[in-house]
Amino acid sequence: MKSKEENLLNEQGETKVLDSSCWQFMQATIENLSQQQIDQAQLQKLSPAALAYLGDAVYELYVRMYYLLPPQRSESYHRLVVAQVRAETQALHLRSLTPHLRHSELEIVRRGRNATTGRPKRLDPEIYQQATSLETLIGYLYLTDQPRLTELLQRLQLEK
């Protein structure tokens, strides 16, 4: 029997089981990376851009681990991951998560959106702001509430 943490929601809201070994590896990685806790005073000193910087790395690691099984060629991994870490896809993910966010999380999203400076020329500024907001939220939750981060990441509708 699978634990509730090993279940993912698909776009119809149905439960999908994540391979147990992949899930255990992901959990161990998150625990090992987060051994260094940050206190509230240090957290307040971090800019939304710094949280987005961290969130970008955490998000990409999650996506890479999601696609790790079944084994594939490097080119396939790359194609799948790039499709998910694009700003346009991140903006879609933020919009899908917004109804599930708490008030405090919406405030972090707002801070991330307002802190956005510059953007790639190919992107609509709103898309870039939303992508940065998602990364800010992920970085913040990584430092403050990893079970909540896991819950939200599992809601993402990544395509296989």
The pLDDT, as a whole number, for residue 138 is: 97
What's the confidence (pLDDT) of residue 1?
A: 40
**136 domain-assigned:** yes
Residue pair 16/9 in contact (Cβ under 8 Å)? The answer is yes
Q: Which of 150, 109, 148, 153 is nearest to 132 (CA)?
A: 109
Residue range 59-88, pLDDT digits in tens: 999 999 999 888 889 999 999 999 999 999
Does residue 32 lie in a domain region? no
**Within a domain: residue 43?**
no
What whole-number distance in Å separates Cα of residue 68 and Cα of residue 48?
30
Q: How many domains are contained in the chain?
A: 1
Q: Is residue 160 part of a domain?
A: no
pLDDT tens digit at each of 160 positions of the chain? 444 444 444 444 444 445 556 666 666 666 665 555 677 888 888 999 999 999 999 999 999 999 988 888 999 999 999 999 999 999 999 999 999 999 999 999 999 998 877 667 788 889 999 999 999 999 999 999 999 999 999 999 887 6
In a domain, 42, yes or no: no
* pLDDT of res. 81: 93
Residue 9's DSSP bridge partners are 15
Residue 19 domain-assigned (yes or no): no
* pLDDT (0 to 100) of residue 13: 45
**In terms of residue numbers, what domain contains 123?**
48-155
Residue of 39, 56, 124, 145 with catalytic role: 56
What is the rounded CA–CA span in Å between residue 136 and residue 57?
Answer: 11
- Distance, in Å, from the CA atom of 119 to the CA atom of 93, rounded to the nearest integer, reads 19
CATH code, domain with 127:
1.10.1520.10
Is 9 a domain residue? no
Q: Annotated catalytic, 124?
A: no
Q: Is residue 6 part of a domain?
A: no
